Amino acid sequence: MPAKKAPKRQKEVEAEDSAALKKLKVSHKSHGQEKGLVLVLGQGDVGQLGLGEDVLERKKPALVNLPEGIVQAVAGGMHTVCLSDTGNVYTFGCNDEGALGRDTSEEGTEMVPAKVELAEKIVQVSAGDSHTAALTEEGTVFVWGSFRDNNGIIGLLEPMKKCTVPTKVPLDKAVIKIASGNDHLVMLTVNGEIYTSGCGEQGQLGRVPERFANRGGRKGLSMCYLYFNDCEQNIKMPVALPNMFVYNQFSLLGTSVTEEIILFFFMLLIFESMHYFSVLTSILSLLGSVFAWGMGTNLQLGTGEEEDLWSPVEMSGKQLENRVVLSASSGGQHTVLLVKDKQES
């Protein structure tokens, strides 16, 4: 009787599946595609503006000198992360807990953009208060920096240990999207599964801690469907522009006027941090303009003044003239914009 060949065939199939996974190129609509320029404004005392040691604040958007075209620019708490169209990552700002992912022992090197050494092409980045994450085109996630809780550093991949260089997340499934909160990370896989890590003091991980489950204090759901958008709270909402009218029930426009009128004009709303009561809120219009309101103490609203704004005001400046704003991201005391020239639109 001939010997069974099933085990050998099974190994071949597993090898083929493994090879296919390695060849997989992940894609998601959230991955940056349009190449642009990076503008920054606000406070830059720890280098988060990337304008060098002599520029510690900007009242109006200023151009950051980067060696490549940028498809994604995100603000962390006190650092900034930029992704180039070739898949390179550039960081600048506070590196006390390793959020830049590179050596900044030489004085002043954290104040200007520099490349993070990564062996694979990156297609998406995210940033929190003290950590950064990068997604490769093969669906692997690298992280560096540290998460924090109310008592201080809690580590990143290991308890109480920060990562000063990119470190691979031990996940055996391909990820297609990543997003960072202040101190947690969310990963969406190709199969639609969501993985979380970081600080869960306010339940932001969506999981029940073992110490609660063991004593029956909290009950998990037997089944839960999650719609994954973004930890930074990207929300479409109606707002107003000059000479345009919109539905304004419940004062959604940020004003005391509540008249309901007919034209809907939707924009993208970005909350910097729910924990800090939206230190900066900015929105992108379909016309490529950016609006801001909230706390302006650190000049991050782009008005040139430090006063708070209670209603949306369009951001202006020489660097915004004849340019379309592709994205806006807000950190603790600074704002990062990705723009392109109108003639390229």
State the Cα torsion 200-174-30-164 to the nearest 10°.
Answer: 60
Report pLDDT for 221: 33
- 117 has pLDDT over 60: yes
State the Cα torsion 224-227-232-237 to the nearest 10°.
Answer: -130
Confidence of residue 314 (pLDDT cuts 50, 70, 90): confident
Q: Are 64 and 50 in contact (CB under 8 A)?
A: yes
| Residue 27 lies inside a defined structural domain of this protein | no
| Residue 115 lies inside a defined structural domain of this protein | yes
Helix (H, G, I), strand (E, B) or coil at 6: helix
The two tokens of residue 221 are 């759901």
Report pLDDT for 22: 58
Instruction: Check residues 304 and 212 and name the one with the higher pLDDT.
Output: 304
Per DSSP, helices labelled H in 137-195 are none
Confidence of residue 313 (pLDDT cuts 50, 70, 90): confident
pLDDT digit string (tens) for 34-54?
Answer: 999 999 999 999 999 999 999
Confidence of residue 10 (pLDDT cuts 50, 70, 90): low
Report pLDDT for 24: 79
| Residue 114 lies inside a defined structural domain of this protein | yes
- Taking the C-alpha atoms of residue 64 and residue 221, their distance in angstroms, rounded to an integer, is 47
Instruction: Check residues 166 and 345 and name the one with the higher pLDDT.
Output: 166
| Residue 132 lies inside a defined structural domain of this protein | yes
pLDDT digit string (tens) for 263-285?
Answer: 334 444 454 543 222 334 455 55
Q: Are 144 and 132 in contact (CB under 8 A)?
A: yes
- Taking the C-alpha atoms of residue 64 and residue 84, their distance in angstroms, rounded to an integer, is 13
Report pLDDT for 194: 93
- 230 has pLDDT over 80: no
- Containing domain of residue 137, as a range? 37-228+317-344
Which of 52, 94, 55 lies closest to 75 in space, CA to CA?
Answer: 94
**Residue 112 maps to which CATH number?**
2.130.10.30
- Taking the C-alpha atoms of residue 43 and residue 343, their distance in angstroms, rounded to an integer, is 31
- 247 has pLDDT over 90: no
Q: Which DSSP helix (H) or strand (E) runs through 11?
A: helix 6-23
- Taking the C-alpha atoms of residue 270 and residue 179, their distance in angstroms, rounded to an integer, is 13
| Residue 214 lies inside a defined structural domain of this protein | yes
- Taking the C-alpha atoms of residue 21 and residue 10, their distance in angstroms, rounded to an integer, is 16
Report pLDDT for 122: 98
Instruction: Check residues 334 and 220 and name the one with the higher pLDDT.
Output: 334
Domain count, the chain: 1
pLDDT digit string (tens) for 162-208?
Answer: 999 999 999 999 999 999 999 999 999 999 999 999 998 888 888 86
Mean pLDDT of 84-106: 98
Which class for 18: exposed (0-12), middle (13-18), buried (19 or more C-beta within 10 A)?
exposed
The two tokens of residue 213 are 């489950």
Question: Beta-carbon neighbour count of residue 170 at 10 Å?
Answer: 7
Confidence of residue 71 (pLDDT cuts 50, 70, 90): very high
- Taking the C-alpha atoms of residue 140 and residue 168, their distance in angstroms, rounded to an integer, is 7
**Residue 301 backbone class (left: φ over 0; alpha: ψ -120 to 50; beta: rest):** alpha
Mean pLDDT of 292-318: 87
| Residue 303 lies inside a defined structural domain of this protein | no
Amino acid letter for position 235: I
Mean pLDDT (the chain) is 79
Instruction: Check residues 177 and 212 and name the one with the higher pLDDT.
Output: 177
- 7 has pLDDT over 80: no
User: In this predicted structure, which of 88-92, 173-177, 238-242 has the lowest mean pLDDT?
Assistant: 238-242
| Residue 1 lies inside a defined structural domain of this protein | no
| Residue 337 lies inside a defined structural domain of this protein | yes
Report pLDDT for 21: 52
DSSP string, 210-232: HHHHHTTSS---S--------TT
Instruction: Check residues 186 and 250 and name the one with the higher pLDDT.
Output: 186
Confidence of residue 290 (pLDDT cuts 50, 70, 90): confident
